[in-house]
Chain A
Amino acid sequence: MWKKVYEWLDERLGLNDMYTNLLDRPEPTGNWWNTLGSASLFLFVMQGLTGIFLTVYYTPSPDHAYDSVQYIMEGVAFGWLIRGIHHWGATLMVLVVFIHMLRVFFTASFKYPRELTWLIGIGLLLMTLGMGFTGYLLPWNQRAFWATTVGTQIAGSVPFVGEFILKALRGGPDLSALTLQRFFSAHIWMLPALLAGLIGIHLYLIIKHGESHFPSKED
């Protein structure tokens, strides 16, 4: 019975092809440091899942943001767990992505033919930091408010266009409801969409070229 279902699906989806092309590939003998990329991916997925749950109760307005987060922590069943995982996941993701980059650098895995994988990777690193920066404001507490005030000020110090960047980030001269709305939108739509797209290309390139082998004296 299951065999029949599988064969039917295989005919339309090409499951066997997928298996041979994606999973049953040869790889150089692996190393535990090579798990950091998939760990980054896992953290990205976790952030996505917990983040989706958080948006159920979170309200991006200066009047309600703080209280809605408070409600998630105190009123919602397991809200504290979801927020806790999202909070620590953010920290861990930055750490893991950074160490992943260091390992790629130290094993020189960015060299021919994987230069593009590295370029996309830098994009991923910057986006991850951007997620951290925009997410930090959302709880609308003292820490968030003042860190973002200073953070956007730094962006405002760019010569000539600083003023414009500052206003574009804040939605005006000061931090306001608009800023929160903007950061929220960036945090849940723009940056994750970009990240997901870039991760897709990153993974395609990795499958295309295969995982690099650990360099030995020969290389």
Chain B
Amino acid sequence: MNDETKKKINARYERELNKGERFWPDSIFKDLIVSLGIFVLLVLLATFIGVSPEPKADPSDTSYIPRPEWYFLFIFKFLAIYGQIPVLGKIEWIATVLIPGIAVGILTLVPFIEKRPDRHYGKRILPISIMIIMVVGAVLLTMTSEVPTVSADGSKFLGYLQSISGLIIPTVAMTALILMSFVFKGTSTRTMIWTTVLASVSMILVSGVVLALHPRSVVEETEVATTLVDQITAGQDLYSIHCTECHGDDGSVAVIEGVEGLEGEEITPINSKDVLYTITDSAMYEVIAYGRPNAGMTPFGKAYGGELSKSEIDYMTIFMRYMWDDRFEAPEIKPLFPALADGEVPSYDVHIQPVAKRYCVSCHRAGKENNNYLMTSYEEILTTGDNAEKNIIKGDESSYLLQVIQEHAIMDPENPEEELIGVMPPSKALKPDVVDVFVRWIMNGMPQTAEEAAALFVLPTPEATAAP
């Protein structure tokens, strides 16, 4: 740039300054308003959306699908799309290093690449067009980042569509724009603008099709307990499901009963000081994750073929500490379900589900001996089991389920000497309030949601409410 142009630019700027404003207060005023707006926005986001809880890092859980911060998603997507290109796609560093490197390099050198002093948009169609296509591309890559390039059924169709919108259209459009500016110099600005608009719109359309065709996958959320009380409750549920058959629901079992292969095995009660005082938290993690294979306790940690994550094992340890270890003071624990008022009907969501999880699911889930009766969802409770049609009969006290939880075993009709179904749960009778929940639920038609249950509320008769 020669001195004359520089002088012209400076003189032009001088003229703008003369008819302009003052930094203080005019500009600062606008800055303050925007900053204040951002501050309010931050407080609102922090209050109403917050930070979504995540389970603790678990280096052994390699099944976890990594998701980077959202502003790096487009790079991930770009890598995936690039990997589809034959031959070149196999050379990873071209996509991970070379292309991003060139992009950042060009961005850095923009002032030295675009040296002409022109500043008006009309004279900068090429750089502006390229930037628009790049930004539209990055935004679309971010939006489609959830869509895999190979669908679950092995089809690569969506992957090809993504290469079209994320790689082919932008490359073709940018090449065309560069050719128009440097080779076919006669091209009108109109044509260049239309090329950009056309490229952007078709990229948006193709990505729209990709998003529309992509089956919404339900993201499997691991439950994250954040407060101590929630962690203890989560730990107790997990303990009830996985450990009670050998250690009993309060950890007091000293001789294992009713477990195949371990019948009569003498063990140290795990709620004793012997165990709790000698095993530290991290050793406890190891015991549960790795099990005691020699003694007959199977591994539970994902790293060793079990099904529990690090967080889940931590919750169990927290539960054992706060409920059994006298060095810890337990906080007030929420009752398993809200107490029922006179005439109130329990629902599956609020009452049955937590009760079943605590007392029944340890045996009544897939892979256990249970007459094929599964209790992990509303449908399962009502429809599974070898005696499904007799287990739960609306309004009938003689439903098998109600009989067995009230300590009446069901005898086999064909062979009255034999038990068809033993008492449930086999080891220890349920407390009366839990039995009451099951009875009221079945007698009143097994409502699923709290609303359905509320509609069934039977008003207590006047005598019952009359004060004594």
Contacts and interface: CB of A to CB of B under 8 A. Distances in A.
A62 interface: yes
Nearest to A96: B38
Contact of B42 (A88, A149, A150): A88
Contacts of A94: 71
Given A42-B38, A66-B56, A91 B70 contact: yes
A122 interface: yes
Contact of B46 (A66, A88, A145): A88
Interface in B74-131: 76, 79, 92-93, 96-97, 104, 107-108, 110-112, 114, 117-122, 124, 127-128, 131
B67 A143 contact: yes
B17 A32 contact: no
Given A105-B131, A112-B117, A218-B120, A25 B69 contact: no
Contacts of B93: 157-159, 162
A96 B128 CA distance: 19
Nearest to A70: B226
Nearest to A35: B34
A85 B41 contact: no
A175 interface: yes
Given A26-B22, A81-B47, A106-B128, A34 B27 contact: yes
A109 B54 CA distance: 43
B57 A141 contact: yes
Contact of A136 (B39, B42, B68): B68
Nearest to A39: B34
A136 B110 contact: no
A62 B57 contact: yes
Interface string A25-64: 1111110101110110011001000000000000000110
A30 B26 contact: yes
Contacts of B33: 35
Given A25-B23, A35-B34, A39-B34, A149 B17 contact: no
A25 B110 contact: no
A118 B12 contact: no
Interface stretch (B58-66, B157-165, B209-217, B409-417): B58-66
A74 interface: yes
Nearest to B29: A30
Interface in A66-97: 66, 70, 73-74, 80-81, 83-85, 87-89, 91-92, 94-96
A26 B27 CA distance: 10
B57 A133 contact: no
B56 A142 contact: yes
Contacts of B76: 150
B54 A32 contact: no
A73 B226 contact: yes
Contacts of B24: 23-25
A36 B38 CA distance: 11
Interface in A167-219: 174-175, 210-213, 215-219
Interface in B19-59: 19-24, 26-28, 30-31, 33-35, 38-39, 41-43, 45-47, 49-51, 54-59
A112 B1 contact: yes
A74 B16 CA distance: 54
Given A23-B24, A142-B55, A133 B69 contact: yes
B47 A84 contact: yes
Contacts of A144: 54, 57
A80 B23 contact: no
B182 interface: no
A145 B55 CA distance: 11
A24 B22 contact: yes
A217 B122 contact: yes
Contacts of A139: 54
B111 A115 contact: yes
A153 to B, nearest CB: 9
B23 A23 contact: yes
B227 interface: yes
A112 B5 CA distance: 10
Contacts of A29: 16, 19-21
B437 to A, nearest CB: 31
A14 interface: no
8 contacts: A24-B22, A25-B24, A36-B34, A43-B38, A46-B39, A87-B46, A111-B111, A159-B93
Interface of A: 22-30, 32, 34-36, 38-39, 42-43, 46, 62-63, 66, 70, 73-74, 80-81, 83-85, 87-89, 91-92, 94-96, 98, 102, 105-115, 118-119, 122, 126, 129, 132-133, 136, 139-147, 149-151, 154, 157-159, 162, 174-175, 210-213, 215-219
Given A126-B104, A142-B54, A154-B96, 19 more contacts: A26-B17, A27-B22, A30-B26, A36-B34, A43-B38, A63-B282, A74-B227, A91-B70, A107-B119, A140-B56, A142-B56, A142-B61, A147-B67, A150-B68, A151-B68, A157-B93, A213-B13, A215-B120, A215-B121
